[in-house]
Structure 1
Amino acid sequence: MSPQAGCRVSPEVCLYNIKYEDGSNTIGQMAKETMTLATTSGSVVTLKDIVFGCSHMSNAGTFTENIMGIIGVGRGPLSFVSQIAPYVGGNKFSHCLLPPQTDPKIESKIYFGNHSEVSGENVVSVPLVETENLDRAYGVIVKGITIGDKFIQFAPIGSSLQNSTMIIDSGTTITTIPQDFFDRIITHLKELLDPKSETSIVTIPGGHPCSFFCIKGTIPELNMSVHFEGDRKLQYTVQQMFMRDVVNDDRVCLKMLNTSDPMINQDVFGIYGSTLMENLLVGYDLDKNVVSFKPSNCIN
């Protein structure tokens, strides 16, 4: 996100204007309040003088009428994570996001400070990298993706660039990748599908420049994994990589969008969205500058 804030009305009133990566924004007044959090032991922690924004105006973006606000968990000093770090035992947090078809009475979970660590078997830990023009974002270097037995490099064919930076952003729903990478993934997927399967490129309505790759037919069980810096590999199932089309429920779509812009923002080549984090415990340890992924049943 790109915050702009200043005390323009009077010395007692500070206004803010924040724009998010999906194009949504919020404008309002900054304030302080005492907040409380429940701990894993059942007790309550009281947090005094937490700075937050009281929105007076916002565009919808990907928000719905059921969403009351946003918890800021970026790197900045006004991030909720940064503000509460002295109270909860460290500058770290984790979340476990539920798939959209889950009973709405069951909530996704987010943990702060101590006991938010991601540990145990099958944990994939990846170094976080800074992005020059998005200093509050969490960047990771992605080398490519394996589908079946073929590794598909992130960087364009013939490019000297071997790695590419993506932002991990739970506030962006769908992962966005460069057009060339998207095209090579789709080409290989078509080679693995039943010839009777119907495939289509579905453009998002409203003049949006991005498109989905959708399939009407059976998708074989494939080995699918994302490769990060340092030979770290995060395994996915077909069910985790594809989602049911909300318009035509007889087809499924890859949870990735293409973009014709080779770079999302200067040195950033894509956004790793929340649908690729469903049923994963994702932990950010900002003291160690590491993000960790662990396959999990987020209902439990």
Structure 2
Amino acid sequence: MAIGTPPRYYSAILDTGSDLIWTQCAPCMLCVDQPTPYFDPARSSSYAKLSCSSPMCGALYYPLCYQNTCVYQYFYGDSANTAGVLANETFTFGTNGTWVTVPRIAFGCGNLNAGSLFNGSGMVGFGRGPLSLVSQLGAPRFSYCLTSFMSPVPSRLYFGAYATLNSTSTSDSGPVQSTPFIINPALPTMYYLNMTGISVGGDRLAVEPSVFAINEEDGTGGVIIDSGSTITYLAQPAYDKVHEAFVAQVGLPLANVTSPDDLSTCFKWPPPPKRVVSMPELMFHFDGADMDLPLENYMLIDGSTGNLCLAMAPSDDGSIIGSFQHANFHVLYDNENSFLSFIPAPCNLI
């Protein structure tokens, strides 16, 4: 992705759990380290600040005004945040020598930023609100195929007619599966799914359907798919059942967890000599679709402790299907027909 005229190239986090497009900008009063120089609007001939009366300024959750310039503040669930000026700019997209330039994309030029960007320069919102990239491009559908978490191979992103799963199928990938989006009136820009259950080791866990349901009174609860969240967060009652099943089936001693922020279903690793350890299979069930997760999508070695951990954590509100869990799936968001489709795929080869 490139920003400005002349174009300057940046990487960013693809986030289906938010709308705003933003990058860190010079002069930067508080910024996160990134591998490229901060975007400097003074060096772009197409940069234009938006006024406080612009429709895009009105689309912000917390619009502010300073000398008739739209100023934004944006907050994320992991305590990351950004603040700066909302502006129009020319964006360039493409790969392999094929580039498309789109003028007047509204984005945040962030001068005060905090949180982790994982070597990116900002975030690109793919939610269903007017500020998101898909809304501004008028793209009725998009798809992505996320490579493994530590893979050096970049992930692929497709828009419009190029967003299709038809050519993804392989002999062992199984059929494309689809499940409808559901709308939460309290948070209509989020991609909510009707999760119906979880299986561990082939056994369906006894989780009440209400654990995954949206609370009709206040809009809390529910299940969203969010590429901007690294791991999956399960509502506490569902997480407890998953935890119990793994403890019963893995057969390794639990490791001590020193902080509530740590992954809490962790086992001492490596196992004793000559001890054969098998991990239970894990499957997420949705309305009309089952996501059979490969082992590398739900177990990881904690680099700080060396323990073998379930890549999930409990939530005191709703549930979030994170990017770690749907890596090496080609995932299609069809906003026109309101459904999500997915199929296992070797994303490093697509």
TM superposition score category, shorter chain reference: 0.7 to 0.9
Distance change (3 Å), C-alpha of 1:154 and 1:92: farther
Residues 102-129 of structure 1 deviation map (CA, whole Å, 9 limit, x = unaligned): 23xx211211222112234422211111
Q: Is the 8 A contact 1:142 1:154 kept in 2?
A: no
Deviation at 1:166, TM superposition (A): 0.7
Deviation at 1:248, TM superposition (A): 2.5
Which segments of 5 or more consecutive residues in structure 2 lack a partner in the other structure? 1-17, 20-59, 214-221
Name the residue aligned to 1:166. 223
Aligned-residue offset at 1:63: 2.7
Is the CA contact (8 Å cut-off) linking 2:199 and 2:284 kept in structure 1? yes
> For residue 118 of structure 1, what is the aligned residue in structure 2?
165
Residues 68-101 of structure 1: per-residue CA shift (max 9 Å, x gap)? 011111101110111112xxxx321111112223
TM-score (norm 1): 0.83
Distance 1:169 1:149 in 2: 26
Instruction: Give yes or no for contact 2:200–2:283 (8 Å, CA) kept in 1.
Output: yes
2:243 to 178, 183, 186: 186
Paired residue type of 1:112: F
Matches within 5 A, 1:1-300: 1=18, 3-6=60-63, 8-11=65-68, 13-38=69-94, 42-60=97-115, 62-64=116-118, 66-85=119-138, 90-103=139-152, 106-119=153-166, 120=169, 121-155=174-208, 161=210, 163-164=212-213, 165-194=222-251, 197-200=252-255, 202-204=257-259, 208=261, 211-216=263-268, 217=271, 219-230=277-288, 232-249=289-306, 251-259=307-315, 261=316, 264=317, 269-300=318-349
Alignment deviations for residues 249-274 of structure 1 (CA, whole Å, 9 cap, x no partner):
3x321111013x2xx2xxxx211111
More strand by share: 1
CA contact (8 A) 1:5 1:14 kept: no
> What TM-score, normalized by structure 2, do the two folds share?
0.72
Q: Equivalents in 2 of 1:133, 1:201: separation in Å?
A: 38
Structure of higher CA gyration radius: 2
- Deviation of 1:21 after TM superposition, in Å, equals 2.4
* Aligned residue pairs, count: 272
**CA–CA distance in structure 2, aligned partners of residues 179 and 215 of structure 1:** 20
Structure 1 stretches of 4+ with a deviation exceeding 6 A read none
**Which one is further off, 232-241 or 217-226?**
217-226
- Report Cα offsets for 1:146-186 as digits up to 9, x if no partner: 1113101443xxxx737532111111111111222111112
What is the distance in 1 between the residues matched to 2:207 and 2:88? 43
* Aligned counterparts of 1:142 and 1:110: Cα–Cα separation in 2: 25
Q: Is the 8 A contact 1:201 1:211 kept in 2?
A: no
Between 139-148 and 212-221, the greater mean CA deviation after superposition: 212-221
Q: Give, in angstroms, the shift of residue 43 of structure 1.
A: 3.1
- The percent of aligned pairs where both chains have the same amino acid is 29
**Contact 2:231 / 2:323 at 8 angstroms: preserved in 1?**
yes
Alpha-carbon distance, 1:212 to partner: 2.4
For the 8 Å contact 1:154–1:181, the answer to whether it is kept is: yes
1:31 maps to a residue whose letter is A
1:201 CA displacement: 5.4
